[in-house]
A and B are shown apart, each in its own frame.
Chain A
Amino acid sequence: FPFSHSAACAAIQKMSRVRVVDNSPLGNTPHHRPAKCIHVYNKTGVGKVGDKILLAIKGQKKKALIIGHKMPGPRMMPRFDSNNVVLIEDNGNPTGTRIKMPVPSSLRRLEGEYSKVLAIAQKFV
Chain B
Amino acid sequence: MRIEKCYFCSGPVYPGHGMMFVRNDCKVFRFCKSKCHKNFKKKRNPRKVRWTKAFRKSAGKELTVDNSFEFEKRRNEPFKYQRELWNKTVESIKRVEEIKRKRQARFIMNRLKKGKQLEKEEAISEVKKNIHLIRAPHAGKAKMMEDKMVQKLQEDVEMGDDQ
Contacts and interface: CB of A to CB of B under 8 A. Distances in A.
A102 B16 contact: no
Contacts of A108: none
A76 B26 contact: no
B26 A101 contact: yes
B19 A79 contact: yes
Contacts of B19: 72, 75, 79
Contacts of B18: 75
B24 interface: yes
Interface string B1-27: 000000000000000101111111010
A78 B21 contact: yes
A80 B26 contact: no
A80 B28 CA distance: 9
Contacts of A80: 21-22, 24
Interface residues of A, number: 16
Contacts of B26: 100-102, 123
A82 interface: yes
Contacts of B28: 78, 102, 125
B24 A79 contact: no
Nearest to B16: A76
A72 to B, nearest CB: 8
A125 B21 CA distance: 10
A79 B23 CA distance: 9
A82 B24 contact: yes
A93 to B, nearest CB: 24
Please list the 8 inter-chain residue pairs (A to B) with the smallest Cβ-Cβ separation, ordered nearest first.
Answer: A78-B20, A81-B24, A80-B22, A78-B22, A81-B23, A79-B21, A102-B22, A82-B24
9 contacts: A68-B22, A72-B19, A75-B18, A75-B19, A77-B20, A78-B21, A79-B22, A81-B22, A101-B22
Interface of A: 6, 68, 72, 75-82, 100-102, 123, 125
